[in-house]
Copies of this chain bind each other. A is one copy, B any other.
């Protein structure tokens, strides 16, 4: 089951402890047996995680099933977070590009404009 989803066994146990999925029924030998509904929950978690939702948010999403407005608002919130992260990183990109450029044009290898600009 773990392999099927590309997760470690420990990871699934962890999700279980965190209440993201319910403990599956365990027959006489004590081993977990996963039914379809848990498999689907795990797939849901994987997909939501890939979209950048935290595990807590995933739990929220799962509990919001049936309230589209709430889900939308969480989505919009995540969207604006993503957009501001993008903006931050783009600003950073410019600065670092400039700095490495000034390194490239530097003749004196023993004296670095990046280090200088940080001082």
A60-71 vs B: 1/0 string, CB under 8 Å?
010011111101
Q: Do the beta carbons of A71 and B119 come within 8 Å of each other?
A: no
Name the one of B79, B99, B104, B114 contacting A97, with C-beta atoms under 8 angstroms. Answer: B79
| Interface-located stretch among A9-17, A18-26, A27-35, A45-53 | A45-53
Name the one of B79, B92, B106, B115 contacting A61, with C-beta atoms under 8 angstroms. Answer: B115
Name the one of B72, B79, B83 contacting A104, with C-beta atoms under 8 angstroms. Answer: B72
Copies of this chain present in the complex amount to: 2
Question: Which residues of chain A (61-119) have a CB below 8 Å from chain B?
Answer: 61, 64-69, 71-72, 75-76, 78-79, 82-83, 85-86, 89-90, 92-93, 95-97, 99-100, 103-104, 106, 108-115, 118-119
Q: With A40-B119, A61-B115, A113-B68 in contact, is A86–B75 under 8 Å at CB?
A: no
Q: A51-B96, A52-B92, A71-B115 are in contact. List 13 more A-B contacts (CB 8 A).
A: A64-B112, A64-B115, A67-B110, A71-B112, A71-B114, A72-B100, A72-B103, A72-B104, A79-B100, A83-B93, A85-B89, A86-B89, A86-B93
